[in-house]
Amino acid sequence: MQHTAQQYHHLRSANSNELRQAVRTARYQSHTAGLAPGCLQANIIILPESEALDFMRFCQRNPKPCPLVGVSETGNPVMHTLGEDIDIRTDVPAYNVYRHGNLSESLTDIEALWQPDHVAFALGCSFTFEDALTRAGISVWHIENNKTVPMYRSNILTCAAGAFGGEMVVTLRAIDKHRVDEAIAISRQFPLAHGGPVHLGDPDAIGLHDLSKPEWGDAPPALADKVPVFWACGVTPQHALMRAKLPLSISHKPGHMLVTDIDDQAEVPVYQRN
Amino acid sequence: MQHTAQQYHHLRSANSNELRQAVRTARYQSHTAGLAPGCLQANIIILPESEALDFMRFCQRNPKPCPLVGVSETGNPVMHTLGEDIDIRTDVPAYNVYRHGNLSESLTDIEALWQPDHVAFALGCSFTFEDALTRAGISVWHIENNKTVPMYRSNILTCAAGAFGGEMVVTLRAIDKHRVDEAIAISRQFPLAHGGPVHLGDPDAIGLHDLSKPEWGDAPPALADKVPVFWACGVTPQHALMRAKLPLSISHKPGHMLVTDIDDQAEVPVYQRN
């Protein structure tokens, strides 16, 4: 059964901790867009320690698709640097489980799968800079129409590390011509949320020949006189994870993010107890 | 024998690759301030793979003192993400070797010490934002007077990971009152070069009771009507390394940095072959 934030009006005003409690106790298991405004939300990747160093190298070399905001201790599911009492086995609304590179199941908790050698990684997401674009009055189609951002597998190659590599997944936001420079400048201020765009203009130049057919998310309307602007996407590490064909790895389910206690404007993503 | 850039006038105009060749062939083994302008310079830490994951966690949790700009493959001394043909065993002008937490020797190459399980880490340094301050016409005492920036061990604690932790080392730059906001804004634009300051004003608040006695670098003049502004310092990871008391670890010798081929304005510190 899928609950949406619309059905749970009281969660619209929940803070990050209350929201995670609702997730942990299975009262909320849906997408997190717009929830706990002002709090950093994160993509999650979980894999064995034997792959963790290469995965961190992959993130370091590809900070736009993979802006690392938190790393657990090995085998400890409590992500203490991201907030108060965050248990990564239960506090994400939904998870995808990959076995040998294939999506095998989606779950709402992973207590049965967590291993003593698991390491959890949290990566920043685009909600942060989208909020900033919205505050600046820059129109973004998928937000205004309550759709999911269109995502495409580009031909831009990531910088590989160990088993991790492959093409960069990008998101499209069509921006009014006269606001493009401003959109770039705003997003560059958020290196922990994908930073500045990776490409502007001609989609063919990055291997995208039909914008009406995104690989994930909703099909966008025609560009009209807007400029197509492409940002690195947090689905890139999931794509890299599948290519790596590990026996077992876990991610959040797209859109179903970990909501942290970190201020989404923070320069340093480390939770300070009051 | 110590050679200085003043004795090697031709190196003042050398590009990063030429400079590294001079270092590798022992024609230059001194500090790198002001050399290969426009190229990112980096602090270096080398330790065994068994400690590498915790050290990367330490960097992720303390991005101001430890802005990670490159990580080698295990056992491979060629840091391909930072430039053309960079061999970390020979291309740094001078190294400090630590044994069980104590500085045991300084060397000009470490070919004899490099191990098959070694991982090399490059961390951004303050030269990048200092250049930007200088370009903006903000006066910085140690640059104008060809001194070394004063460094202090503050009482600000880093966020620990495994064996790595301890106090943050900070640098002092006394800034004209009316330019402080600008200096903050400029440095925040360089998250790979320590980002914005960690403290402004009262030195006692971060445990510094006598600014005339820095732990490293040169003693600064009295503040007069300038504001003391403190930034996180790249000596912090060396301090953490010494506290960790590993049997063997290696760093660059302070001021003797790796000069990379990365543009020091780059958003992503990954070298793209032309």
What's the CATH code of the domain at A133? 3.30.2040.10
B268 vs A contacts (CB less than 8 Å)? 62-64, 195
Please check whether residues B205 and B115 belong to one and the same domain: no
Pick the residue from chain A with its C-alpha nearest to B80.
A159
Check A267 against B191: CB less than 8 A apart: yes
Q: Which residue has the tokens 């951002």?
A: A149
Give B63→chain A minimum CA distance, Å.
7
User: B37-54, pLDDT tens digit by residue?
Assistant: 899 999 999 999 999 999
- The answer, yes or no, to whether residue B10 has pLDDT greater than 80, is no
Does residue B268 lie in a domain region?
A: no
- Interface contact flag, B68 A60, Cβ < 8 Å: yes
Facing residue for A81 by CB, picked from B61, B74, B270 = B61
Contacts of B120 in chain A (CB under 8 A): none
The pLDDT assigned to B4 comes to 53
Tell me how close the Cα of B163 comes to any Cα of chain A, in angstroms: 12
Q: Of A269, A260, A133, which Cα lies nearest the Cα of A192?
A: A269
Q: What is the mean pLDDT of residues A149-158?
A: 96
User: Could you tell me if A14 and A119 lie in one domain?
Assistant: yes
A:B CB pairs within 8 Å: 59
State the best of B47, B60, B184 to mutate against chain A, taking most chain A CBs within 10 Å: B60
Q: What is the dihedral of CA B214, B94, A54, A111, to 10 degrees?
A: -30
Assess contact for B66 and B161: CB atoms under 8 A: no
The answer to whether residue A195 scores a pLDDT higher than 80 is: yes
- Nearest partner of A216 among A243, A253, A244, judged by Cα: A253
Contacts of B157 in chain A (CB under 8 A): none
Chain A residues whose beta carbon lies within 8 Å of the beta carbon of residue B53: 49, 52-53, 56, 74, 119
Residue B177 domain-assigned (yes or no): yes
Same domain? A148 vs A52: no
Would A31 be classed as within a structural domain? yes
Q: Give the gap in angstroms from C-alpha B241 to the nearest C-alpha of chain A.
A: 18
List pLDDT tens digits, range B125-135: 988 889 899 99
Same domain, B174 and B103: no
Q: What is the pLDDT of residues A94-125, one digit of tens each?
A: 999 999 999 999 999 999 999 999 999 999 99
B20 in the same domain as B114: yes
Beta-ladder partners of A87: A78
Q: Which of A52, A188, A268 has the CB atom closest to B64's CB atom?
A: A268
- Residues B191, A188: C-beta atoms closer than 8 Å: no
Considering only residues B112 and B143, tell me which one the structure prediction assigns the higher pLDDT: B112
Average pLDDT value for chain B: 93
Query: Other CB atoms closer than 10 Å to residue B171's CB: what's the count?
Result: 25
Chain A residues lying within 8 Å of B73, measured CB to CB: 57, 161
Q: Does residue A33 sit within a domain?
A: yes
Same domain, B119 and B139: no
CB contact under 8 A, B196 and A267: yes
Question: Is residue B166 pLDDT above 90, yes or no?
Answer: yes
Instruction: Indicate the burial class of A193 (C-beta count within 10 angstroms; 0-12, 13-18, 19 or more).
Output: buried
What is the percentage of chain B residues whose pLDDT exceeds 70?
96
User: Which tokens go with A238?
Assistant: 């999931």
Q: Which residues of B touch A (CB under 8 A)?
A: 49, 52-53, 56-57, 60-64, 68, 70-71, 73-74, 81, 119, 159, 161, 188, 191, 195-196, 267-268, 270
- ipTM value of the model? 0.94
Query: Where are any strands of DSSP class E within B184-263?
Result: 199-200, 227-232, 249-252, 258-263
Spell out the SS3 assignment of chain A: CCCCCCCCHHHHHCCHHHHHHHHHCCCCCCCCCCCCCCEEEEEEEEEEHHHHHHHHHHHHHCCCCCCEEEECCCCCCECCCCCCCCECCCCCCCEEEEECCEEEEEECCCCCCCCCCEEEEEEECCHHHHHHHHHCCCCCHHHHCCCCCCEEEEEEECCCECCECCEEEEEEEEECHHHHHHHHHHHHCCHHHCCCCCEECCHHHHCCCCCCCCCECCCCCCCCCCEEEEEECCCHHHHHHHHHCCCCEEEECCCCCEEEEEECCCCCCCCCCC
Q: Taking the model in full, what pTM does it have?
A: 0.95
Structural domain contains residue B145: yes
B32 and B116 co-located in one domain? yes
Is A274 among the domain residues?
Answer: no
- Taken in order A239, A245, A249, A250, is the CA torsion positive or negative? positive
Where residue A91 sits, what CATH number does that domain have? 3.40.1640.10
In chain B, the residue whose alpha carbon lies closest to the alpha carbon of A58 is B71
Q: Which residues of A touch B83 (CB under 8 A)?
A: none
Q: What is the DSSP string of B24-86?
A: HTTS--S--TTSSTTEEEEEEEEEEHHHHHHHHHHHHH-TTT--EEEEPPTT--B-TTSSTT-
Question: Tell me: the pLDDT tens digits for B224-241?
Answer: 899 999 999 999 999 999
User: CA of A119: which chain B residue's CA is closest?
Assistant: B53
How many structural domains are present in chain B? 2
Range of the domain at A167: 127-236
Q: How confident is the model at residue A4 (pLDDT cuts 50, 70, 90)?
A: low
Confidence of residue A163 (pLDDT cuts 50, 70, 90): very high
Same domain membership, residue A87 and residue A176: no
Contacts B60 to A, Cβ<8 Å = 56, 68, 70-71
Nearest CA in chain B to A195: B267
Judging contacts by C-beta atoms under 8 Å, the chain B residues touching residue A60 are 56, 68, 70-71
Distance from CA of B206 to the nearest CA of A (A): 17
Nearest to B129 by CA among B167, B93, B171: B171
Do both A177 and A247 map to the same domain?
Answer: no
Which neighbouring-strand residues pair with A175? A227
Tell me whether residues B267 and A61 touch, CB distance under 8 A: no
Q: Based on the domain organization, do B94 and B69 belong to the same domain? A: yes
**What pLDDT does B6 receive?**
55
- Whether B90 is in a domain gets the answer yes
> Looking at the partner chain, which of B63, B188, B270 has a beta carbon nearest the beta carbon of A61?
B270
Are residues B110 and B14 located together in one domain of the fold? yes
A29-to-A9, A38, A103, A121 alpha-carbon distances in Å:
14, 20, 19, 20
Within a 10 A sphere around the Cβ of B141, how many other Cβ atoms?
17
Same domain, B121 and B159: no
Whether B223 is covered by a domain: the verdict is yes
Residue closest to B133 by CA, chosen among B185, B172, B169: B185
